[in-house]
Structures are given as C-alpha cells and as structure tokens.
C-alpha cells in the first residue's frame, strides 16, 4: 500500500494529496478538499514535499530522528485508513517520550484541534 501511494505521489502529486486529505478528513466537502490541496501545494510544492514523503515512507525516519526529539515530538492523529492503529502503537514504542494525540474528525479540517495542541506546546511552563 505504501509503495502504491508513493507511486501516485510521483506520478500525480495532487491526486496523492487529495487522497491523503480525503482519508484524513472524511467529513470535508469537495470544495474544502480542493481548497486544502491547493493551499498545501502552494505552501509546499511537489519538488520540496516528495523527498520528505519518500523519507518518511522508508520507515527509518522515525527511528533515526524521533528519539532525539524526545518530548518535543508531537503527533496529532485520528482513525485513518492510511495510518493503521498498529503504526501508532509502533510510534509509541519507538518514541516513548513523544506526545501522540488522537483527535476526532481529523486534524487537517479541524484547525481548533491543531490550535489547541499548538497552544499547549507553546504555553509558558507552570510553576511547580
């Protein structure tokens, strides 16, 4: 499945993004998906994104870089057919200090979820 997704990313980057955005946000309308894909391509074009996608798909990226990030590594995820529960279990195993938050409705189309996580990460430390 990963190789098929990578092949799509290499041959039709927008179709790859559309599939990812749709899978991550099943409640999004056609127009919302279209806008999100356009915004993503404008923010990070194919020639920049594709090498990163290929690196993460290799399976080695998390084990090589994640542990060094410790508790600075955050994953906001929800039930997604592209990322099975076993993958999150493996991430928890490889990254015991990481913050893995399971969000409802998908973090892409729910900016309030992502904003809450960002506020939590950037909040000043509380006195003990």
For the stretch 78-88, pLDDT in tens is: 766 666 677 77
Provide the whole-model pTM. Answer: 0.60
- Determine the Cα–Cα distance for residues 51 and 6; give it in Å rounded to an integer: 10
Output the pLDDT for position 80.
66
Output the pLDDT for position 77.
77
Output the pLDDT for position 69.
83
Whole-number CA gyration radius for the chain = 16
Q: List, for the chain, all residue ranges whose pLDDT scores fall below the cut of 50.
A: none
DSSP-derived secondary structure for 2-37: HHHHHHHHHH-HHHHHHHHHHHH-TT--HHHHHHHH
Cα diameter, the chain: 53
pLDDT in tens, 98-122: 888 877 766 665 677 778 888 888 8
Output the pLDDT for position 26.
80
- Determine the Cα–Cα distance for residues 32 and 109; give it in Å rounded to an integer: 8
- Determine the Cα–Cα distance for residues 7 and 64; give it in Å rounded to an integer: 24
What count of other Cβ atoms lies within 10 Å of the Cβ of residue 24?
21
Output the pLDDT for position 84.
67
């Amino acid at each position: 499945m990963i190789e098929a997704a990578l092949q799509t990313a290499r041959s039709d980057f927008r179709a790859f993004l559309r599939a990812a955005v749709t899978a991550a946000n099943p409640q999004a309308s056609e127009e919302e998906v279209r806008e999100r894909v356009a915004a993503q391509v404008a923010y990070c074009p194919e020639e920049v994104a594709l090498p990163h996608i290929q690196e993460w798909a290799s399976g080695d990226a998390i084990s090589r870089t994640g542990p060094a990030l410790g508790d600075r590594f955050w994953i906001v995820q929800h039930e997604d057919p592209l990322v099975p529960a076993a993958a999150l279990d493996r991430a928890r195993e490889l990254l015991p200090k990481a913050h893995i938050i399971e969000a409802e409705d998908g973090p892409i189309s729910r900016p309030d979820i992502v904003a809450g996580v960002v506020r939590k990460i950037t909040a000043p430390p509380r006195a003990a």
